[in-house]
């Protein structure tokens, strides 16, 4: 299964997928493209270091979402991408990509959805004072963090939890859960 990872930031989930492939924790999965809307994103640097093809774009250089998504779609087609993995991609997808990849786009989100959708889910959880939060991997639809849930991992929030300790715990679980889900989707693809 050929995947494209979309990332706007650090790319620690992107790195975790690459690591899971390298260590053979997951198999029959290949990352063929990194897409980013931020040319200076650390994820882009990581992809270049690993010689993974990169497509970057600046949304403001295009007249519309459709216009840049058409270019992305051309790239996805060129690389025969089967699955899009959003890992910290800070833009809602539009009709071009959702139409072409319906049911083949997943996202990782740092909360137990449907709680704490959108930005800074970790901060939202801490502010609310929840005792349990977690990580969700879900299919992507036109909403913000709203598609059908594929897998979740709960995480206990201790009374002395800080933002830093919680971020670390969330990352550890994201880096486990996302490759696991990708593997299960690859297994399904193989059985088709
Ligand atoms: C992750 O917490 C993910 O759940 C959210 O964005 C963050 C991306 O982190 N959607 P990274 O760029 O993979 O380090």
Q: What is the pLDDT of residues 37-77, one digit of tens each?
A: 999 999 999 999 999 999 999 999 999 999 999 999 999 99
* Percentage of the chain exceeding pLDDT 70: 100
pLDDT at 191 over 90: no
pLDDT at 192 over 80: no
User: Residue 5, class by beta-carbon neighbours within 10 Å (0-12 exposed, 13-18 middle, 19+ buried)?
Assistant: buried
Q: Indicate if ligand 1 lies below 6 Å from the C-beta of 108.
A: yes
Tally the domains of the chain: 1
CATH number for position 162: 3.40.50.170
Pick the closest to residue 148 from 189, 113, 183 (CA basis).
113
Q: Indicate if ligand 1 lies below 6 Å from the C-beta of 179.
A: no
Catalytic residue among 46, 109, 138, 169: 109
pLDDT at 153 over 90: yes
- The boundaries of the domain holding residue 111 are 2-191
Does 175 qualify as catalytic in the annotation? no
Give the atom of ligand 1 at the shortest distance from the alpha carbon of 135: 4
């Amino acid at each position: 299964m050929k995947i494209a990872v979309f990332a706007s930031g650090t790319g620690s989930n992107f790195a975790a997928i690459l690591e899971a492939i390298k260590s053979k924790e997951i198999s029959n999965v290949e990352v063929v493209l990194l897409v980013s809307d931020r040319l200076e994103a650390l994820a882009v640097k990581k992809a270049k270091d690993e010689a993974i093809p990169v497509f970057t774009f600046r949304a403001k250089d295009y007249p519309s979402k459709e216009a840049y998504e058409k270019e992305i779609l051309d790239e996805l087609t060129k690389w025969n991408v089967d699955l899009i993995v959003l890992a910290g991609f800070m833009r809602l997808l539009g009709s071009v990509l959702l139409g072409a990849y319906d049911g083949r786009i997943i996202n990782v989100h740092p909360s137990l959805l449907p709680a704490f959708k959108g930005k800074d889910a970790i901060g939202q959880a801490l502010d609310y004072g929840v005792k349990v939060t977690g990580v969700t991997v879900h299919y992507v639809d036109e909403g913000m963090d709203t598609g059908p849930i594929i897998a979740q991992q709960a995480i206990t929030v201790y009374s002395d939890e800080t933002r830093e300790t919680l971020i670390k715990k969330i990352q550890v679980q994201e880096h486990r859960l996302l490759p696991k889900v990708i593997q299960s989707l690859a297994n399904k693809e193989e059985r088709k």
